[in-house]
Amino acid sequence: MPTSAVTPVPLFNWLDARAAGVLLHPTALPGDQGVGTFDANAVRFLDFLQAAGLKYWQICPLGPTGYGDSPYQCFSAFAGNPYLVDLRALVAPGLLTHAEIAPLAKLSADRVDYGALYEQKRPLLALAFTRFQRAGSPVLAADGETFAAFQKKQAAWLEGYGFFLALKDHHKGVAWWEWPAAVRSLAAAEKTPLRKQLAAEAEAHAFYQYLFFAQWRALRAAAAARGIEIIGDIPIFVAADSADVWANPELFELDAKTGRPSAVAGVPPDYFSADGQLWGNPLYKWQRHVADGFAWWHARLRASFELCDVVRIDHFRGFDAYWRIPATAPTARTGEWVQAPGMELFKSVRAAFPQAKIIAEDLGELTPRVVALREATGLPGMAILQFAFGGDDAENLYLPHNLVPNGVIYPGTHDNDTTIGWYSTTTEKERDHARRYLRVDGREIGWDFIRASYAAVSRLAVFPLQDVLSLGRAARFNAPGKPQGNWQWRARSAQIEQLITGGTAAYLKSLGAMYGR
């Protein structure tokens, strides 16, 4: 008798129960410090998630942002964003006063003004560090970790990161490849007098990380106490102007003379842009990563799993093949697909992190190879309801009846308009399709999409807080290809309270009970 083919066992198989969650980046939390922080407002948001019977809080990358304020273009793949530090927590230990913090309350409660934060919050953090030193470096972490212990534990990335930002401040903020040749890499800069001259400045940046990690651990503990897991996010690529590239130039495609990327990342023309998306990130020298057993990737994922319970990896298709754009190209139209060692990488990740919980952001036009890679890894992919409607047939992969259990469904993500915003601007063909498919009149389309997400076969459903609040286009968090005005929207504390006390949390909990989430 002929033998039947044996189906390979996927590398990962963690998403085995139905659940739901909310997408909200911490900068969008309420508060009166000009930006969301790890304060009581964050804990109150966790209270809402618990009251609503939700298991997951999904966030964007937590790293320190640079020009453009994008959490997907950070100065480090390992560090946290100091803007998220709650300054009020520094009053009791005597590092700041309420009067010193008070001017931040005059900043907008609805939009993050990153320029104003740079001018007002950074000096306060520096002042806190000065007083911290004078006070003999008191313990500021709730779990008792000292600054010295933190520095020792995180030394592999922290020392280079602190020196990088100290040098960046010293050179007036310009990109590292515009610095003098003697300091265009960590290895070279370590041999210069600036290493000693900027030691205090570097230690200040390490202190800001101490605050960030201590406060984030406390917030994560508060989430765990409420039965809530955090879904983190890492971009597949890192920013060109980052400590990662500066400290490890041998891992990236860089011009040997200038240090600039010789080719950059992006995607060809797509749903979001007719010219494609020219991200500008340097590309990996994958052969170097293969040669050392993907050591840098393991370190990056290890750091991510220390911060979050689940990690979503952005642009999963780039692990099969990535769009390589010449550094001189004006748009992403010009480029070529280059193969990446996807399965080899994920096999090494499985060996290093056998219990890893990873979500693959597999949006876009997927080739059979990408689909095969995702299925072989066993990682749950993503579906976007806003992409499901308007076609001429029922074959759209994002329509709920075409979804698979091992996946995550979203009405939209941080890169999409709010559902109400989408519905108000999309074609009548798509609106009509959505109304007929969901059997609704469209007057509460945001909630129609939330209910459809709950009902879907996908084991995990995640919806943006803006949709829960029934907000329109003004609440969009990011518009890909738009260089300015992104990442600014914030919720109000009264909105969170209303969700808890006004019946929304109870209604979401009833939906969870109805649909087994």
**Active-site residue (options: 159, 361, 362, 448):** 361
Confidence at residue 323, expressed as pLDDT on a 0 to 100 scale: 95
* Burial bucket for residue 16 (CB in 10 Å: 0-12, 13-18, 19+): exposed
**Active-site residue (options: 415, 417, 448, 467):** 415
Copy the structure tokens of residue 118: 């740079």
Q: Is 244 a catalytic residue?
A: no
**Active-site residue (options: 201, 314, 362, 467):** 314
Q: Is 361 a catalytic residue?
A: yes
**CA gap 132, 96 in Å, rounded:** 10
Q: Is 32 a catalytic residue?
A: no
Q: What is the largest CA-CA distance in the chain?
A: 83
Confidence at residue 179, expressed as pLDDT on a 0 to 100 scale: 97
Copy the structure tokens of residue 4: 């039947």
Confidence at residue 456, expressed as pLDDT on a 0 to 100 scale: 97
Residues 6+ apart with CB under 8 A from 29: 36, 37, 41, 42, 45, 490, 491
Confidence at residue 256, expressed as pLDDT on a 0 to 100 scale: 86
Residues 6+ apart with CB under 8 A from 49: 21, 22, 57, 226, 228
pTM of the predicted structure, to 2 decimals:
0.96
CA distances from 496 to 58, 138, 383, 445 (A): 16, 34, 27, 21
User: Mean pLDDT in runs of 10 for the chain (517 residues)?
Assistant: 64 97 98 98 98 98 94 97 98 98 98 97 98 97 98 98 98 96 97 98 98 98 98 97 98 92 91 84 97 98 98 96 94 95 98 98 90 97 96 87 97 98 97 97 98 98 98 96 90 98 98 98
Residues 6+ apart with CB under 8 A from 15: 357, 380, 406, 407, 408, 459, 460
